[in-house]
Amino acid sequence: MEWREVMEHSSLKDLPFKIETTQWGEIVMTPATVRQGRFQGMIIA
């Protein structure tokens, strides 16, 4: 997927987080925050 296609895709507009594309066109989201990681740890425990 080209970056232009990502920008034009209706389901990817107005997301509350950042996204990027790799050189192979894969969509990558930003990593979880420390706070979110703590919640994930509590759920796992």
Secondary structure (3-state) at 26? coil
Reading phi first (left if > 0) and then psi (alpha if -120 to 50, else beta), residue 12 is in alpha
Secondary structure (3-state) at 4? helix
Work out how many domains the chain is built from and give that number: 1
The residue that leads in pLDDT, 43 or 15, is 43
- pTM attached to this predicted model: 0.38
Q: Which domain holds residue 26?
A: 3-44
The answer to whether 18 and 29 are in contact (CB under 8 A) is yes
Secondary structure (3-state) at 28? strand
- Residue 44 pLDDT more than 80? yes
Residue 9 confidence (pLDDT): 83
- Kindly list the distances between the CA atom of residue 24 and the CA atoms of 5, 21, 31, in Å, as whole numbers in the listed order: 14, 8, 19
Each residue's pLDDT tens digit, 3-38: 788 778 888 777 777 778 888 888 887 777 788 788
